[in-house]
Amino acid sequence: MPQAEYDAIAKSDAIYKAPVGLPEAVLPDGTEAGVTDVLLRSSLDLWANVRPVKLRPGVTSPLKDVQTGDIDYVVVRENTEGLYSAWNVSPEKAIRAAAPAGLILRDEVSVDNLIISRRASERIVRYAFDLAARRKGCPANGTRRVTCVDKANVLKSYAFFRKIYDEIAADYPEI
């Protein structure tokens, strides 16, 4: 991405960005050749990935007996850490990556860093609970929920995330 384009994006109140990339535009190790999404996420601190899921009128569903209005939830995920943290670099350094984000050893083993911080975890969990508090709740009964999806049973980093989630959940007894 040319620096002038990045500067224009950084000065904007909002941008509309569609999916980018081409299946054939990959590095020799098979990873994506461009790091535009991750560059923007990390350098502009675009930490909340918010994805509403709603069944729209006239759209058929593969789920049996699902009616319009039966599906209405939001997936919220932290957007700058986790396995993407290896790409958290300045715009000057993120020029069409010449090396993969992780480490590949002798074409036998691959390693990526998974980073979860208290700061990022607290703000995304609070965001999810605050969002749930503003929404109508489950279409069937109005119950407001936040569900934590993680691998806390096997990964220490996610056990740390779950601990933070549980601490913050206690502040929202109505959810």
pLDDT, tens only, 65-87: 776 667 788 999 998 888 766 55
pLDDT, tens only, 4-41: 988 999 999 888 777 666 777 777 777 776 666 777 88
pTM strictly above 0.85:
no
Distance, CA of 78 to CA of 92 (rounded, Å): 24
What tokens does 39 get?
């560059």
Distance, CA of 71 to CA of 87 (rounded, Å): 34
